[in-house]
Structure 1
Amino acid sequence: MLAFAPLHDAVSAAGTALSALTTLLEPVAGAAAAAAAIVLLTVVVRLLISPLTAAQVRGERRRAALAPRVRELQRRYADDPPRLQSELFALYRSAGASPLAGCLPLLVQAPFLLVLYRLFATDEGGTGLLDERLAGVPLGHHLADGLGGSAGPVFAVLLATLVALAFWSFRRARRAAAGTGAPAGPTGGPGTGAPGAAPARGAAGAGSEAPAVAALGRLLPLLPFTTVLAALVLPLAAVLYLVTTTAWSALEQAVLRRPRPVPVEADIDRH
């Protein structure tokens, strides 16, 4: 239990912040103050960690711009793995890029999102959150508890929103994969992490792993739909969180991954 004490403390702190937000919003939102506080707290946390997402996208852009040169080095030094590793390292260093640049921001973000999930799914902070209501539906209500009263319409709207967001992300990921010929991640990025993974394997083993890469490319765009599956078993409070954080992610991707007026190579040269 001691190993989880920091997480429990963080969830408790988030619960305290949620209670304060609920009290602050009560004059405006009334009985829906707790639900509004969930949305607001999620937005605030996502806004605080948005620079990490921007860093992730910049890293992906740099690696994507280097991909043709990486493939050329893999072809040239296919029979000389030590030389290949050396050349790839020099290439990334000269471009100010890193194979891990897109992974580290994700790892840093994970604890923040885990804290919010624990708070909204289990009320670990002890705020009484799951006893609050939205449109007469307790925030601790699950789909399995029934769809009587206003529960049906409330869950229908939230699930429809998640499906729409998942489909948007799916389409974006498929377009990115078609445009680059590389597997697209769940955020629609062009071959997220692919250039960084290739050097570790070496070009010699690329052919043997082609079926696995192709399968991965088919599965990754489907990951956004897992939020819909999660919403089927989580309480209403956590579903509100999922809708909010998924919508924020979609907005971030639309802004950060919009077409750029200058070539990515120019951005690399400036670094």
Structure 2
Amino acid sequence: MDPFSFPPLAALLDAAYGALAGLATFFEPFTGASAAALAVVVVTLLVRALLIPVGISQAKAEQTRARLAPRLREIRKRHGKNPERLQRETMQLYRDENTSPFAGCLPVLLQAPIVGILYTLFLRTEIAGHPNELLSHDLFGAGLGTSLVHMLAAGPFSLPTLAVFGGLVAIMVVVAEVTRRVFRPAPVDDTPLSSPGMLRMMSALHYLTAVFALFVPLAAALYLTITVVWTLVQRVILRRRHPLPV
């Protein structure tokens, strides 16, 4: 079942298409076939700017969790053999501090629908019954509606597509490595999270966006690339303003 056949979602997709196509039309005299790519960049920057307050709250939540870490370890020592009491005491501590163990997940949750809409916009040949003109746009000769995996599996082969995806994925991998090194989580004593296997898995999660980008249309991969770069820069700035306790 196609979720975008549901009238409200179909109207949302059509509105998103109209807005992005309008931006592309505005930029087309200056950028030609890359107008839609520039429109995606502008939309990404706008979304990230709107999410700055959320990023600030995320940095504060991270600072609070680091400050609470010694008290959480003490709770685990006291009630480690009583899972129900452990959970109750842990949640009470978070309530007393007016925070949550899930604080900071909001940016990811808010951006998921945007990536989904971009994915759909550059996947369909028709939007609300009219031709999808966004698919005629490209970035340095790579079609915005093409995914790297689809090109390699079903063809036709395109060197510009391979080069553009290679550049975007390389940027995401570098950002992931810098993020992994700079924002390495502090080990937590006597918990499953401190095991070598869990730490390796958490490190690997930094590269998940780069892997995901291989399967989505180029427009969505462009959005993801700008997002991870913005996120890294924002985290560095906010970490300086909200440093973690030593």
Aligned counterpart, 1:242: 224
Aligned counterpart, 1:166: 173
Q: Secondary structure at the match of 2:41?
A: helix
Contact 2:119/2:219 (<8 A) preserved: no
Contact 1:35/1:237 (<8 A) preserved: yes
Aligned counterpart, 1:47: 49
Aligned counterpart, 2:132: 127
Counterpart CA distance in 2 for 1:121 and 1:220 is 31
Shift in CA distance, 44/120, structure 1 to aligned 2, threshold 3 Å? farther
CA RMSD of aligned residues (A): 3.3
For residue 215 of structure 1, report the CA deviation from its aligned partner.
Answer: 2.3
In structure 2, what residue type is equivalent to 1:254? V
Contact 2:142/2:160 (<8 A) preserved: no
> Residue 118 of structure 2: which of 110, 116, 119 is its match?
116
Counterpart CA distance in 2 for 1:103 and 1:219 is 18
Contact 1:53/1:105 (<8 A) preserved: yes
Question: Which aligned pairs between 1:212-231 and structure 2 lie closer than 5 A?
Answer: 214-231=196-213
Counterpart CA distance in 2 for 1:83 and 1:223 is 31
Q: Which runs of 5+ in 2 are unaligned?
A: none
Contact 2:141/2:160 (<8 A) preserved: no
Aligned counterpart, 2:186: 180
Contact 1:55/1:105 (<8 A) preserved: no
In structure 1, what residue type is equivalent to 2:225? V
For residue 73 of structure 1, report the CA deviation from its aligned partner.
Answer: 1.4
Q: Secondary structure at the match of 2:122?
A: helix
For residue 68 of structure 1, report the CA deviation from its aligned partner.
Answer: 1.1
For residue 129 of structure 1, report the CA deviation from its aligned partner.
Answer: 1.1
For residue 153 of structure 1, report the CA deviation from its aligned partner.
Answer: 4.4
Contact 1:159/1:228 (<8 A) preserved: no
Q: Which runs of 5+ in 1 are unaligned?
A: 183-202, 266-271
Counterpart CA distance in 1 for 2:125 and 2:53 is 28
Question: Which aligned pairs between 1:1-271 and structure 2 lie closer than 5 A?
Answer: 1=1, 4=4, 5=6, 6-122=8-124, 125=127, 127-142=132-147, 143-144=151-152, 145-147=155-157, 151-153=158-160, 155-177=162-184, 180-181=186-187, 209=192, 214-256=196-238, 258-260=239-241, 264=245
TM-score, normalised on structure 1?
Answer: 0.70
Shift in CA distance, 109/238, structure 1 to aligned 2, threshold 3 Å? closer
In structure 1, what residue type is equivalent to 2:63? R
Shift in CA distance, 62/154, structure 1 to aligned 2, threshold 3 Å? same
For residue 17 of structure 1, report the CA deviation from its aligned partner.
Answer: 0.7
Counterpart CA distance in 1 for 2:92 and 2:173 is 39
Shift in CA distance, 12/154, structure 1 to aligned 2, threshold 3 Å? same
Shift in CA distance, 7/54, structure 1 to aligned 2, threshold 3 Å? farther
Counterpart CA distance in 2 for 1:56 and 1:261 is 10
For residue 158 of structure 1, report the CA deviation from its aligned partner.
Answer: 4.1
User: What percentage of aligned pairs have identical amino acids?
Assistant: 36
TM-score, normalised on structure 2?
Answer: 0.76
The alignment of Structure 1 onto Structure 2 pairs a total of residues equal to 236
Shift in CA distance, 215/11, structure 1 to aligned 2, threshold 3 Å? farther
Contact 1:165/1:246 (<8 A) preserved: yes
Counterpart CA distance in 2 for 1:23 and 1:124 is 18
